[in-house]
Amino acid sequence: MNNWIDKELAEVSERGERRKLEAWPALGPYLERDGAHILNLAGNDYLGLTANPNVRGAAAEAAQSLGTGATASRLLTGTSEIHAQLEETLAAWKGHPAALSFSSGYLAALGIIPLLVGRDDLIVADRFCHACLLDGARMSGATLVRFHHNDMEDAKKRLHKRGDYSRCLIVAESIYSMDGDLAPLSELLALAKEHDAFLLVDEAHALGVTGARGAGCTADFPEASQNLITLGAMGKSLGAAGGFITGSNQLRDLMINRARTFIFDTALPRPRWQRPSPR
């Protein structure tokens, strides 16, 4: 019955793509293995916050006072004051009207894209977009076309059929995770305005290290309440876990009511976001 699994694994091995999990004694900006102290350049903990004593102390304090889990989805009993404080803080940090948190950046992508577009709509995405963005695009049922990486002329060509579709979504990352290069956000935003499209920007690798207040490349963009929507991940430079979307207040309200990965998912655990006590 499981012969097909062996066949799939054999094909993966033949392509030289067979992977395995390797456990480390402790995770963070530095790793220990066989007595060696290793700088971790394979992770996303850019600021070393996972090892910061204040961050660890706040998490431990929150676990003691609030427990270890949210117990339910946000629409049942899973929303706490901590969630509200987190989202207000994220929106203010980004300089955008509103924010909504998800259990991961991946779930944020899978929640927002099918909400914005469907079968009668068009998605135009950079070829280097992360897998979560492409998976969200495929789940939406919208027509997906991809333009050459950071090539605005090619993006314009892909948008020439915009009029054939009800809604249109342009998808890009602000800083691309594999190459580390930046997207031409001003040009992409201009294209979104010209074609009456949404622009979804994945800021996962920009948060904490670029922009005003370290809030990413789209910090303080005044267009946030109109064409621009951003995706953030809290499991990278912020040293924790979770994802979030920023956009208009109306979009936040719609996500609460229609985003399936928000509605049907147990809420982000509260202790990870407890504010530190004054020390």
User: Which residues have a catalytic role annotated?
Assistant: 44, 130, 173, 177, 202, 205, 236
- Residue 147's beta-bridge partner residues? 126
Phi, psi at 247, each rounded to 5°: 180, -150
Query: Which string of DSSP letters, residue by residue, matches 240-275?
Result: S--EEEEE-HHHHHHHHHH-HHHHTSBPPPGGGGPP
Residues 6+ apart with CB under 8 A from 131: none
Q: Tell me the CB-side half-sphere exposure of residue 50, using CA atoms within 13 A.
A: 18
Per DSSP bridges, beta strands 143-147 and 122-126 are: parallel
E strands, the chain, are: 30-33, 36-39, 98-102, 122-126, 143-147, 168-173, 198-202, 228-233, 243-247
* CA angle, 73 then 78 then 81, to 5°: 145
